[in-house]
Amino acid sequence: MEISEDSLFQSVKEIIIQSREKVFRMANSTLLLTYWQIVEDEQKGKERAEYGKYTLKNLSKKLTLEFGKGFDESNLRNMRTFYHSFPICDALRHELSWTHYRLLIRLNNFDKINYYINESIQNNWNYRDLKRQINSLAYERVLKHTKTTDETIHSVLKDPYIFEFLGLKTDEKISEKDIETAIIDHIQKFLLEFGKGFAFVARQQHISTETSDFYIDLVFYNYILKCFVIIDLKTGELSHQDIGQIDMYVRMYDDLKRGEGDNPTIGILLCSEKDQTIVKYSVLNDKNNLFASKYLLYLPKEEELKQIIDQDRIRFELDQNDHNETLI
């Protein structure tokens, strides 16, 4: 059987790509172990040991003359911090590069570091993706972190969401259709921001009954939670009518689209303004499959974002406590 020129090219191309990836993984793994071992050998188990008879500055000069770039004084300090942050060599994740670890060692919270390591590996985040997630306080924006490996909707969803990558100007009048179109145009970045396990299903999905036709803004499937997730976009203030609509959409989707083996559908209202009183005294407060999350079309300064997150987190925890007390 004769192999076409195009088939031969694709086969050789795939071999080269796989070989390069293998070489990169080996080189990256060796680099991490090298940096870790440099400090291990010099510190000899002492937390505050000096680098032998050399000062850090002199050691940097000698190593740079011998081996070139990568051994400047700041990088040696990074190596030392890296060693203290990850004292167990076998615990290093070789799927991550040195540039990933340079970002991670700046964090001072073990749970936070673990979150970003796991998310980076599961979602194949590169250095820029990880940097963006850290700068946008992704860890803090997750509704609720779980101590087990079992994911829940609360450990997947965030509040607020940050959509600065859509490129929409906040000083101009923007319609729900504009946001929807921008999301589709930037679907990869949207999925990165929205969280793990989401796959795009449809836009303006048509659902019809015997008497009416409905169109759902965005539909996704989460393969971790094993359920459909439908999203309704709102540019104005959240209203009881909006909540009633998403509740109806979820019920209809469960009845008409949900397959055997799928968990109950989840509905999310993505809104620019969220009235917490309406949220508290509506079905959103009684159901575990309906949520309202705020979105921002810009990336706030860290202090502003922390304030927004803290306010939402206090309200979320109060609502959860009220809900649990009602069940008791």
Give the pLDDT confidence of 88-131 residue by residue, as tens digits: 888 888 888 888 999 999 998 999 999 999 999 989 899 999 99
Q: How confident is the model at residue 53 (pLDDT cuts 50, 70, 90)?
A: very low
Q: Are residues 207 and 270 in the same domain?
A: yes
Contact 207, 256 (CB under 8 A): yes
- Quick one: pLDDT at residue 152? 87
Cα separation, 121 vs 93, in Å, equals: 9
Q: What are the backbone angles phi and psi of residue 292, rounded to the nearest 5°? A: -125, 120
Higher-scoring residue by pLDDT: 152, 40 = 152
In the chain, the number of structural domains is 2
Q: Are residues 148 and 256 in the same domain?
A: yes
Q: Are residues 223 and 122 in the same domain?
A: no
Residue-wise pLDDT tens digits, 229-247: 999 999 988 888 888 999 9
Q: Are residues 172 and 283 in the same domain?
A: yes
**Of 139, 161, 182, at which residue does a domain stop?**
139
- Quick one: pLDDT at residue 184? 96
Structural domain that includes position 27 = 5-139
**Of 79, 105, 139, at which residue does a domain stop?**
139
**Neighbouring C-beta atoms of residue 130, cutoff 10 Å:** 22
Q: Are residues 65 and 182 in the same domain?
A: no
Flag the least confident range among 66-70, 125-129, 290-294. 66-70
- Mean of all residue pLDDT scores within the chain: 82
Helix ranges (DSSP H) in 44-175 = 56-67, 73-85, 98-104, 110-122, 127-135, 138-141, 153-156
- Quick one: pLDDT at residue 52? 44
Q: Are residues 107 and 231 in the same domain?
A: no
Contact 108, 82 (CB under 8 A): no
Cα separation, 42 vs 56, in Å, equals: 11
Q: Are residues 205 and 310 in the same domain?
A: yes
Flag the least confident range among 30-39, 75-84, 115-124. 30-39
Q: Are residues 292 and 146 in the same domain?
A: yes
Render 102-134 in DSSP notation, one character per residue: HHHTT---HHHHHHHHHHHHHTT--HHHHHHHH
Q: Are residues 133 and 42 in the same domain?
A: yes
Q: Are residues 85 and 36 in the same domain?
A: yes
Q: Is the pLDDT of residue 39 over 70?
A: yes
Cα separation, 192 vs 298, in Å, equals: 16
Per-residue CA distances from 35 to 42, 173, 207, 214, 291 (Å): 11, 52, 57, 58, 45
Query: What share of the chain has pLDDT > 70, as a percent?
Result: 80
**Of 139, 158, 193, at which residue does a domain stop?**
139
| Residue pointed to by tokens 């940050």 | 162
Q: How confident is the model at residue 286 (pLDDT cuts 50, 70, 90)?
A: low
Element (H, E) at 205: strand 198-208
The tally of CA atoms less than 13 A away on the side-chain side of residue 263 is 14
Q: Are residues 49 and 183 in the same domain?
A: no
- Quick one: pLDDT at residue 44? 58
For residue 84, what are its two tokens?
Answer: 């203290």
Domain of 295, CATH number, reads: 3.40.1350.10
